Chain A
Amino acid sequence: MRAYTPKDDVQKKSYYTDRFWVAPQVAKSEVSDDAVFAADLAAIKAKFDVLDAYIQVEQMVVVINANDNYSVLEFLKNECEYTQLSEMSAIDWLATEGKFEIFYQMLSMAKRKRVRIKCKIDEKEAIQSVEKLFRSADWSEREMYDMFGVVVNNHPFMKRILMPEDWEGFPLRKTYPLQGDEFAAWYEVDKIFGKEAREIIGPENRDPARIDRYDTQRFSRLGHEVPFGTDISQGEPDTPLVYQEKEGVFMVEKFDAEKSVVISDRQR
């Protein structure tokens, strides 16, 4: 029998410890299981270095060197019938490996197969653009730069696509806070009212969850409602909840079954 441990502070601790937690993994299988993928992989291996290759969810994943990305995609497009680049972006592995993973999701309509090409680059390293091969990479690479800060060489228009051009920071990096850093918090104020407005507004007003207990213009306290703008620093009176039914409603009477008349003759 398991030894008893006190459960008083069980809410304060996390339930799931490392001991029992197993990160779910998508099952991998050998490339040789699929004849079409095996032929494609052999063709790639003949020309380029392949660091790793496997099949995951009926799609082949091929890990290559980052320098080969343009030539591998060109080879897949022209020789292996993978004519569409359906998606591409980066994954932030900076915390664990200090690298970005770039993936290219390729689709072959002729073979009805999907292949994912992966490569890894360092944080400050740039990657070659594949916009010349696939027009779909134009905006995807701009988004990758916008969100992760991965610079793409030879891109025709390497600018931010979603965030404003004077934005600082790259929002999809794991180190970027969801609610934004200080620059993000003051962005619209700096732009419209100027930086000197920061002091007038005050940093405490940047918190959307802030509640001022004594501000009766913007907040009201349930059960203690007072007229708009009343000074309640000395305390406020209770306004107890009163239901209409208790004292009756004007012109409305409660239904009383005893006093009511039941009509038995429906044809009356």
Chain B
Amino acid sequence: MAQHQVNYLKDGGLPVALTTIDKVVNWGRSNSIWALTYGLACCGIEMMASGASRYDFDRFGTIFRASPRQAELMVVAGTLTKKHAEFIRRLYDQMTEPKWVISMGSCANTGGMFNTYATVQGVDRVIPVDLYLPGCAPRPETLQYAVMMLQQKIRKESASRAQKPKRLM
């Protein structure tokens, strides 16, 4: 019995890891990004495909939530109209800190081809954006890459303090 006991000190199998609070917290945050469902147009279809079985967002820990109070990531997928602008701001304000925003696709980035009276020319005019994802529409692989980039960004941030105020464009 005793001869099978693992000698942790000797074999390098010490079950203790030394790290910082930042790294632990950010490890947790970056691997459990719960996203708010925000499909506004055709990019929303690609976002749904990313969440479904073939591309499987769950393995990143990204689970879509239908409530802003349970979400920390807003993937703005599609054209933002001026009529809708106040609602997106309200939902963004309802999300709990810390929160991040991915602007998905050309329409969300800059208004895209809709340079008209009814379209907001980029969601960064209404809410601060962390990551711009180009494409029309971006494929699910691209959205996965964006989430991975966002994970890298989260890991670089300091976990102990409140988020720095972000700049509106």
User: Across the interface, which residues of A come within 8 angstroms of B126, CB to CB?
Assistant: 188, 192
Residues in chain A near residue B36, CB distance under 8 A: none
Closest CB of chain A to B159's CB: distance in Å? 23
What secondary structure prevails in chain B residues at the interface with A?
A: loop
- Residues on the A chain within 8 Å of B83, using CB: 163-164
The chain B residue with its CB closest to the CB of A181 is: B117
Residues of A within 8 A of B169 (CB): 205, 218
Q: B122: which of A179, A181, A184, A208 is its contact (CB, 8 Å)? A: A208
CB neighbours (8 Å) of B89 from chain A are: 192
How many positions in chain A have a CB within 8 Å of any CB in the partner chain? 18
B125 within 8 A of A: yes
Q: Is the interface on chain B under 10, 10 to 19, 20 to 34, or 35 or more residues?
A: 10 to 19
Q: Is the CB of A188 within 8 A of B118?
A: no
**Max chain A C-beta neighbours (<10 A), residue from B82, B89, B110, B125:** B82
Task: Report the minimal beta-carbon distance from A184 to chain B, rounded to whole angstroms.
Answer: 4
Is B120 close to A, CB under 8 A?
Answer: yes
A200, chain B: closest CB distance, angstroms: 10
Is the CB–CB distance between A179 and B118 below 8 Å? no
Bound-state CA distance A188–B125 (Å) is 9
- Minimum CB–CB distance from B86 to chain A (whole Å) comes to 5
What's the nearest-Cβ distance from chain A to residue B148, in Å?
20
**Residues of the B chain whose Cβ atoms lie less than 8 Å from the Cβ of A218:** 169
On whether the beta carbons of A180 and B117 are closer than 8 Å, the reply is: yes
- Tell me, rounded to whole Å, the shortest Cβ–Cβ distance linking B167 to chain A: 8
Q: Do A208 and B115 touch across chains, with their CB atoms under 8 A apart?
A: yes
Which residues 74-103 of B sit at the A interface, judged by CB distance below 8 A?
82-83, 85-86, 89
Is B116 a contact partner of A178 (Cβ separation < 8 A)? yes
Binding site for B on A (CB under 8 A): 163-164, 171, 176-181, 184, 187-189, 191-192, 205, 208, 218
Q: Which 4 A-B pairs have the closest CB atoms?
A: A180-B117, A188-B85, A208-B121, A184-B117
